[in-house]
Structures are given as structure tokens and as C-alpha cells.
A = this chain, B = another copy of it.
Amino acid sequence: MTTQAVFRALADPTRRDILVMLAREDMTIAEVSEHFDMTRAAVKKHLSVLQEGELISVRIEGRARVNHLEPHALILASEWLDSFRRFWDDRFADLHQAIEAEKSKDNKND
């Protein structure tokens, strides 16, 4: 697990969506695929990238592969970002409202 593997995994919007989905419940490849307009093979590739970055783990149940969120690696990214916190902490309150506005725009664009 490297910082690079984690940030690379987070760089794709499909993969970030998959993480959000897996935060709610474990899912098979087929179940994850239902939520996207792409082939199962493409989704499988994204899941492989997430697994390489160790953001998810997989357990095999019969013929199914059940994907499970592994938050461990996310801590790495979170801590990397935290090292910049001194630059924004003192004006965080001022910025908070602006960020909320940005985030609502975001949902339409991502």
C-alpha cells in the first residue's frame, strides 16, 4: 500500500462512487455493475485498481466475489492532506460555507 496507489485509486469518479456504495454494504461484481452504464469487465478493472490500492478486500463465496471496503488505506490519504491543515485551520469557518456551495455544484459535474 503506497500513497501513490491510494491516490491513483481515488482519481477516478467511478472508483470513488464504488467506495461510497461499498461503505453501505458489501457487494459482488454483478451488484456493483448494475449501478453503472458499462460492462462488468470494466467494473472489474476498477475493482482491481481499488484492490491494488488496498482500498477494498475480496472474499470468495462459492462462485461470487464479495467486495468489502477497507478504510485503512483511506487514512493514509487523509493524513497526507492533514499535513496541510495549518494552512486552512484558522480560516476554516470562513471557507466552510463556500465549500458547501461548491459541493452541491459538484454533484452535478462529477
A interface with B by C-beta (< 8 Å):
1-4, 7-8, 10-11, 13, 16, 19-20, 23, 69, 71-72, 74-85, 87-88, 92, 95, 98-99, 102-103, 105-106, 109-110
A19 (CB) vs chain B CBs: closest residue:
B84
Q: Of B1, B77, B103, which one neighbours A76 at CB under 8 angstroms?
A: B103
Q: Which of B2, B88, B92 contacts A105 (CB 8 A)?
A: B2
| CB-defined contacts of A99 to chain B, threshold 8 Å | 72, 75-76, 79
With contacts A88-B75, A99-B79 taken as known, whether A109 is within 8 angstroms of B23 at the C-beta atoms is: no
Contact between chains at B1 and A102 (CB < 8 Å): yes
Closest beta carbon of chain B to A35's beta carbon, Å: 18
